Amino acid sequence: MAKNNTENSTQMKETTDNDMMPSLLVGYVRRSNAGGAIKISINTNAFGDCETYTTSDGQTYVPLVISLSALRKVIDGDRAVTTVSQLIFE
């Protein structure tokens, strides 16, 4: 069952790097200081506002997106951070 809660005014709509579709900013992705891992930081308030879906086995998931080209730039060190978002289908 999908949840739709858009009353939180602290959330903002953005667009991903490659798409012009509106999205909800949920968090950030950055490379670890040692460079051997990707760190994902999710804002718990924004996460709670995301749409969800439930699979046939009863598990609930939040579908999120990260721009592949922006993530490559983070991995390569050309960019410090990129966003984690949820696409908004209006």
In a domain, residue 8? The reply is no
pLDDT at residue 44 in the model: 94
In a domain, residue 82? The reply is yes
The label of the residue with tokens 């069952």 reads 1
Beta carbons of 5 and 48 less than 8 angstroms apart: yes
pLDDT at residue 58 in the model: 98
**With a threshold of 0.75, does the pTM exceed it?**
no
Give the chain's domain count: 1
Range of the domain at 33: 13-87
pLDDT at residue 12 in the model: 41
From first to last of its 90 residues, what are the pLDDT tens digits of the chain? 444 443 333 344 444 444 478 999 999 999 999 889 999 999 999 988 999 999 999 999 999 999 999 999 999 999 999 999 999 987
pLDDT at residue 35 in the model: 82
In a domain, residue 58? The reply is yes
